[in-house]
Structure 1
Amino acid sequence: MNMKIDPWSALSIDDYSKLFEEFGILPFDQLLPEIKDPHRYMRRKIIFGHRGYDLISDAMNNGKPFSVMSGFMPSGKIHLGHKMVMEEIIWHQQQGADAFVGIADREAHSVRGFSWERCRDIGVNEYITSLIALGFEPEGHIYFQSDSEQVKDLAFELGSKANFSELSAIYGFTGETSVSHMLSAVTQSADILHPQLDEFGGPKPTVIPVGADQDPHIRLTRGLGHKMNMFKIEGREDKKGRHYFSIRSKSAPEDTLKELAERIPGTTKLFEGHVDVLDFDNFEELLKTVRAVELEFGGYAFVPPSSTYHRFMSGLQGGKMSSSVPDSYISLTEDPKGAAKKVKRAKTGGRITLEEQKKLGGEPDKCSVYELLLFNLVEDDEELAQIYNDCVSGQKVCGNCKALAAEKMEKFLKEHQELREVAKDRLDEYGL
């Protein structure tokens, strides 16, 4: 199949199941019963996949530390697609996560050629202002890549574990790709991992909410985080079929294995390059000890970052949403009445004639107006189910749905833009 995912271009994925097969993304609905009061994106299967989210649900359910991190490349107007990620960040912050939002100005500078001044202007006036207006709390961390010494230093460290062959395999880089573009990819990995640095509380599960087009960054980061860690824990079996753990050094200082052998309860055997743990089967406690020793000896002990993947919104006229086609998307800063008119011109899933609509019913799964209600405008699941059923039964015609969605969109934008004005006066609370 060889599906290619590019995080720097618009992408439409028609069959999300291919992502499970090709890239090892896991279906999210299997985890849904473990999540108290899930976000509507989770309930409605808009978040369709994950990597390692069981670590996050465990942390939420048991009061353990965890983080949420995502970023935005300051490349243009903030729109409903960006709002999706912001809502996911804010929801996790409300569940107890230490929240991080990075403005990827290094990426915009290297990939889009934007000036630093333009990056900062778009970052603050488009993305950060709306983020605060949507409910991001000041206890979180908002930063620009170019201003963060932690991110820049960690990117340099991660660069020692990355090579061109790996970047080429993941991103399709060629000999024509600029070094700054490659560095921006490694910087994304530093963004994702830096919430686990000592100054932010050390190693902890961290979830990255993204669209599926950003999965290359997740794959690269999980690989680099593994390479940075000093140890690898393997489950093994002896000749008599008895299970045990073997802690193997990847790049650890000499004394670390001896320290581990002394700290781990039960019987351990120390060898050159590894220590075997023979009668201690509490993996979580073992992992905690290994990470503690690694940190004491100057390592990072990164927890592999988790991720969630949400479906893409389609354009208002069908097909892809594109920043170069204003009628295909709705910006959070555009005129509310103008946005309502866009909704009324949007492509629906209705039949050709009213007679067919009443006889066959509409097709909300093919309707960009219903999608606006599903993703953004209706919080109550019962209300949404009623709209859906009225459509497929032929009881509701497209004009009624368009009028409803247009009214809700105008109301949302008006309220959001009022909150943006308040947010502009609060920027200093967020260190901006």
Structure 2
Amino acid sequence: MILLLLMMSEQTAEKQVVTPWVATSDSAFDYDKLVRDFGSTKIDQELLDRIEAVTHKPVHHFMRRGIFFSHRDMNSILSAYEKGTPFYLYTGRGPSAGMHMGHLIPFMFTKYLQDLFDVPLVVQLTDDEKFLWKKLTVEETRKLTIENARDIIACGFNPEKTFIFSDLDYMGTMYPNVLRIQKMVTDTTVRGIFGFTDSDCIGKHSFPAIQAAPSFPTTFPHMFGDRKKIRCLIPCAIDQDPYFRMTRDVAPRLGFHKPALIHSSFFPALQGAQSKMSSSDESSSIFLTDTPKQIAKKINKYAFSGGRDTVEEHRELGGNCDVDVSFQYLAFFLEDDARLAEIREEYSSGRMLTGELKKILIGVLQDLIKKHQEARAQVTDDVVRHFMTPRPMEHILFPKKETSSK
């Protein structure tokens, strides 16, 4: 059904499979090779320094630690910000029955970007995609959309500058841009990028245009009017990049800026770096609904260890932080750089045992999920309705009447 983008590591000849639907590897992902194969640009110290110089604020630890590691045209976004030119953020997700820690990563980072740049955000919930790819009814996908929206809202986005929308509900407004994109992209191109075959339903062939449309500001007339020259920045996982390579090819032909992107690495499953967390595998994931007891049990039972076989051997040789899932999770969720470096040193030297490392992680995750659950409990039906209602935002973005051309 899906043409796997099969990539062989030049050094190890191991398989990497990365598509919008599949991401697996025989070992840790070779992100340098993904950058080369996808044609993006690796985030370097020069870009990090420019972000701090332009915003006068420190970069997020996700960027300092290479979790967000690749980009397309991020410098154009920084130039727009320096000039006071409006731009907006766009991210999204395919609704699922349960959101896990991996799902939080792009929203945590997007929240940081919204606060950093003080810009509007659109969040696409692709309930249509889930209906096409999963054994779900339309009614079931609608319910998942609302529940996932609650978790997204709980991340703390600005309610006056955030619009969350369901494709099923918003299609009428964005359909003109969907049509324009569809007319620009041949079926041969879509098959080549996504691997669709004659046995796939026609809905799958047309879906990439739906995910592309929010990259263009006229998809949101209540926010941007008919202005076409407003840039878009998309934070997403690297597996979503194929959609936007297609979009960037279409954009200038339709009179829009190419969307800029910033890519994250994958959040590993508890079992190790060969795969990412899955909502369908309870043992691979820490869910946002898990209790403190469940979190502790999962980490202690399933989190792959970089420790040695015996205490004596561990004390002598030390643990391997590069494969230890508990340490990798701390790299995502422990913000204190000095403390993380201390833990790495203690574990690598053998002075810290695997059980002690897991205990630290359990405490960090229990605290984070407790705060998320408390925030989610405050998300009422009215709050969801506010975020998901199209409403005027032009006065926020363009407080003064413009006289220049669009």
TM range (shorter): 0.7 to 0.9
| Residue 394 of structure 1 pairs with residue 354 of structure 2 | no
- Name the structure 1 match of 2:399: none
| Residue 358 of structure 1 pairs with residue 315 of structure 2 | yes
- Name the structure 2 match of 1:179: 202
Counterparts of residues 84-163 of structure 1 (less than 5 Å): 84-94=105-115, 95-125=117-147, 127-139=148-160, 140-148=162-170, 149-163=172-186
| Residue 421 of structure 1 pairs with residue 377 of structure 2 | yes
Q: Judge conservation of contact 1:151–1:194 (CA < 8 Å) in 2.
A: no
- Name the structure 1 match of 2:76: 55
What SS does structure 1 have at the residue aligned with 2:379?
A: helix
Unaligned runs of 5+ in 2: 8-16, 53-57, 390-406
Q: For residues 110-167 of structure 1, give each alpha carbon's deviation from its aligned partner in whole angstroms, at most 9, with x where no partner exists.
A: 2224222211211111x21111111111121111112112322211121111111100
What SS does structure 2 have at the residue aligned with 1:330?
A: coil
| Residue 64 of structure 1 pairs with residue 85 of structure 2 | yes
Deviation, 1:217, is 0.5
What SS does structure 2 have at the residue aligned with 1:423?
A: coil
What SS does structure 2 have at the residue aligned with 1:35?
A: helix
1-side partners of 2:112 and 2:371: how far apart?
19
Q: For residues 344-374 of structure 1, give each alpha carbon's deviation from its aligned partner in whole angstroms, at most 9, with x where no partner exists.
A: 2211111112122222221111111011111
- TM-score, scaled to structure 2: 0.83
1-side partners of 2:307 and 2:150: how far apart?
37
- Name the structure 1 match of 2:400: none
1-side partners of 2:279 and 2:89: how far apart?
27
Q: Judge conservation of contact 2:177–2:219 (CA < 8 Å) in 1.
A: no
2-side partners of 1:389 and 1:61: how far apart?
40
- Name the structure 1 match of 2:403: none
Unaligned runs of 5+ in 1: 229-300
Counterparts of residues 303-314 of structure 1 (less than 5 Å): 303-314=257-268
Write the letter of the residue equivalent to 2:336.
D
- Name the structure 2 match of 1:41: 62
What SS does structure 2 have at the residue aligned with 1:365?
A: coil
Q: For residues 240-281 of structure 1, give each alpha carbon's deviation from its aligned partner in whole angstroms, at most 9, with x where no partner exists.
A: xxxxxxxxxxxxxxxxxxxxxxxxxxxxxxxxxxxxxxxxxx
- Name the structure 1 match of 2:34: 19
RMSD, matched Cα: 1.9
| Residue 188 of structure 1 pairs with residue 214 of structure 2 | no
| Residue 216 of structure 1 pairs with residue 242 of structure 2 | yes
1-side partners of 2:18 and 2:218: how far apart?
26
Deviation, 1:330, is 0.8
Q: Judge conservation of contact 1:69–1:100 (CA < 8 Å) in 2.
A: yes
1-side partners of 2:189 and 2:232: how far apart?
23
- Name the structure 2 match of 1:278: none
Q: 1:340 to 1:194 in 2, by over 3 A?
A: farther
| Residue 81 of structure 1 pairs with residue 102 of structure 2 | yes
Q: For residues 316-348 of structure 1, give each alpha carbon's deviation from its aligned partner in whole angstroms, at most 9, with x where no partner exists.
A: 122323333211111112223201211122111
Deviation, 1:46, is 0.5
Q: 1:77 to 1:311 in 2, by over 3 A?
A: same
> Which of 207, 211, 221 is residue 233 of structure 2 equivalent to?
207
> Which of 326, 334, 341 is residue 369 of structure 1 equivalent to?
326
Q: Judge conservation of contact 2:127–2:142 (CA < 8 Å) in 1.
A: yes
1-side partners of 2:186 and 2:232: how far apart?
25
2-side partners of 1:322 and 1:343: how far apart?
16
- Name the structure 1 match of 2:396: none
Say how many residue pairs are matched.
358
Q: Which moved more, 1:130-139 or 1:113-122?
A: 113-122
Q: 1:85 to 1:109 in 2, by over 3 A?
A: same
- Name the structure 2 match of 1:332: 288
2-side partners of 1:124 and 1:424: how far apart?
11
Counterparts of residues 240-279 of structure 1 (less than 5 Å): none
Deviation, 1:183, is 1.5
Write the letter of the residue equivalent to 2:186.
N
Q: For residues 361-408 of structure 1, give each alpha carbon's deviation from its aligned partner in whole angstroms, at most 9, with x where no partner exists.
A: 2111111101111112x1111111111111112221111111111122
- TM-score, scaled to structure 1: 0.79
Q: Judge conservation of contact 1:374–1:384 (CA < 8 Å) in 2.
A: yes
Q: For residues 158-199 of structure 1, give each alpha carbon's deviation from its aligned partner in whole angstroms, at most 9, with x where no partner exists.
A: 111111110011111112221111111110111222467654
Deviation, 1:96, is 1.6
Task: Kindly name which structure, 1 or 2, has the bigger radius of gyration based on alpha carbons.
Answer: 1
- Name the structure 2 match of 1:383: 339
2-side partners of 1:2 and 1:420: how far apart?
39
Q: Which moved more, 1:45-54 or 1:59-68?
A: 59-68
Q: Judge conservation of contact 1:104–1:144 (CA < 8 Å) in 2.
A: yes
Q: Judge conservation of contact 1:364–1:392 (CA < 8 Å) in 2.
A: yes
2-side partners of 1:195 and 1:335: how far apart?
43
Deviation, 1:75, is 2.8
- Name the structure 1 match of 2:11: none
What SS does structure 2 have at the residue aligned with 1:137?
A: coil
Q: Judge conservation of contact 1:150–1:194 (CA < 8 Å) in 2.
A: no
Q: 1:135 to 1:197 in 2, by over 3 A?
A: closer
2-side partners of 1:63 and 1:344: how far apart?
49
What SS does structure 2 have at the residue aligned with 1:208?
A: strand
1-side partners of 2:152 and 2:264: how far apart?
18
Write the letter of the residue equivalent to 1:5.
V
Q: 1:227 to 1:62 in 2, by over 3 A?
A: closer
- Name the structure 2 match of 1:408: 364
2-side partners of 1:324 and 1:59: how far apart?
41
- Name the structure 2 match of 1:323: 279
